[in-house]
Amino acid sequence: MYVSVRMPEQRARDAYSALEGNEAVHGEYKVPGGKLVVVDLDVEDGVLRNVRVAGDFFLEPDEALLSINAALEGSPASTDAAGLAARITAALPESTVMLGLTAEGVGTAVRRALAHATEWSDYDWQLVHREPQAPALHMALDEVITAEVAAGRRAPTLRVWEWASPAVVIGSFQSLRNEVDPEGAAKHGITVVRRISGGGAMFVEPMSTITYSLSVPESLVSGLSFADSYAYLDDWVLGALGDMGIRAWYQPLNDIATEAGKIAGAAQKRVVGPDGGPGAVLHHVTMSYDIDADKMLEVLRIGKEKMSDKGTRSAKKRVDPLRRQTGLAREQVIENMVASFRSRYGLTTGDITAEEMARAEELVRTKFATEEWTARVP
């Protein structure tokens, strides 16, 4: 199956045309925790013309919208999002009130238009939710599925993980000895694996964790900064949690939190496409449904510096599980999350192909289950 989007070469030509030639472009961006911003504009000889900002935000006074359009008119098409936001802020009347809208959000929508970014609704999303898998196989499946999306052979995919055994998953650049207590891991039968994305260690027990991956075309996050892409790809799950009565928000760089504490952490990896062209983004999230904090502290070496950085004295206080906050069974939480994604963007049930599974199993043998990979940063 091939994904119906522009080929990388065409996207590159379109982006060049938008910057150097004459072209009408359209961009959308949902402000994290806010509303949708839509921008239509023309690019004429490298500058923005006929800028039209719209959306479901709230803005007072009405004339402020004209000020935003005027501030962007004539801007060089090479201006970054921060520069566009500065022009908007300087032009707004002092009495302006923006609800669900920010100057930065408008600037980002413009950059997404100029980058010919795709939208969630441009794709036929596929759900993969299989029987429990070994930790090393999960690492391999993430790599294989995202590579397939990058190559255009697989539709953008939401994969919900089920764990066959408890594990600690360390980030690509973490020191094994600094993060994991080997005696604690052995005592509790914990497998240690290393993933391809950065970020911190995850303590996982099969029925106490909700983990999912998004493997998406790079064009979906075009025009976004690295940090903004986290908030953008997390937005749907914030809505899903809200539907379950949990007011959650994105906490830079890669956490999801509520007033009670952190409930999830995300990590990303960019995968280059064929021949070095635009590829795909792996965005995976581990959410705490339930947690044995005492066991976690026996397995993970969580330093005082990390605790002070998070503004708390205790790792137990850093995580507040979904089981307590929702009162729902783990399976019901997952079902609600999937239903929320489906209602927003559409979602068909898929699976791992035999070829993909064979490649993943080979990666387990040659990479993810090897000491060389797991201890590559000792």
**Please, what are the domains in the chain?**
8-114 (3.30.390.50), 120-374 (3.30.930.10)
Nearest to 50 by CA among 86, 28, 25: 25
**pLDDT (0 to 100) of residue 20:** 54
**pLDDT (0 to 100) of residue 200:** 94
Task: State the DSSP string of 211-229.
Answer: EEEEEEEGGGGTT--HHHH
Q: What are residue 170's DSSP bridge partners? A: 194
Series of mean pLDDT values for 10-residue runs along the chain (378 residues): 38 47 88 93 96 97 97 97 97 96 97 95 97 98 98 97 98 97 96 97 95 97 93 95 93 90 94 88 96 92 52 49 93 98 97 98 98 97
C-alpha distances (whole Å) from 14 to each of 45, 46, 272 are 14, 13, 19
**pLDDT (0 to 100) of residue 10:** 43
Nearest to 285 by CA among 320, 325, 250: 250
**pLDDT (0 to 100) of residue 318:** 53
pTM more than 0.85: yes
Extended strands (E) in the chain:
23-30, 36-44, 47-55, 58-60, 97-99, 126-129, 157-160, 167-170, 191-194, 202-204, 209-217, 249-251, 255-258, 261-271, 280-288, 348-349
Cβ neighbours of residue 6 under 8 Å, at least 6 residues apart? 14, 116, 219
Q: What are residue 283's DSSP bridge partners? A: 214, 268
**pLDDT (0 to 100) of residue 319:** 63
CA-based end-to-end distance of the chain: 40
One-letter amino acid for residue 243 of the chain: D
Task: Quote the CA–CA distance of 317 and 145 in Å, as a whole number.
Answer: 35
